[in-house]
Structure 1
Amino acid sequence: MGRSQDLSEFKRGTVIGCHLCNKSIREISLLLNIPRSTVNGIITKWKQLGTTATPP
């Protein structure tokens, strides 16, 4: 089974925006129709690195 496509930069930014508006991971997941683990990974990466961009 292959890896699915990465989320767009806009969608990742939307996840961070929702997080900054105090939405829970579950709420963000349901709102954007993204798996909870993906939402958690985006938020964790943003907290650690300060960016959501994928490395080249």
Structure 2
Amino acid sequence: MQTASTNINEIMGHSQELSEFKRGTVIGRHLCNKCIREISLLLNIPRSTVSGIITKWKQLGTTATQPRSGRPLKVTE
């Protein structure tokens, strides 16, 4: 049985980071000449995510997650 918070999370679109295996699978299917739409349907991942993974792989040569930009930590003396 699902709780109300689970349903809200599904509706609001809280996402999780994809595993290294799933990102590798996206690249593998891309190398097998599958289109983004086919990869998206096969792996049940949004097309924009598949496109982003492929673009990052082409630009950086890796599917590993990169550090995110953000406010630097406060340095104390």
Q: Is the shorter-chain TM-score for this pair beyond 0.5, marking a shared fold?
A: yes
Task: Describe the superposition over 1:9-45 as per-residue Cα deviations: whole angstroms up to 9, x where unpaired.
Answer: 0000000000000000000000000000000000000
Sequence identity of aligned pairs in percent? 91
The structure whose residues are more often helix, as a share, is: 1
Structure 2 unaligned blocks of 5 or more: 1-11, 66-77
Q: RMSD of the TM alignment (CA)?
A: 1.2
| 4+ runs deviating over 2 angstroms | none
Structure 1 unaligned blocks of 5 or more: none
Higher relative contact order (CA 8 A, sep 6+): 1
Report the CA distance between 1:4 and its aligned residue. Answer: 1.4
Q: Aligned pair count?
A: 54
TM-score (norm 1): 0.91
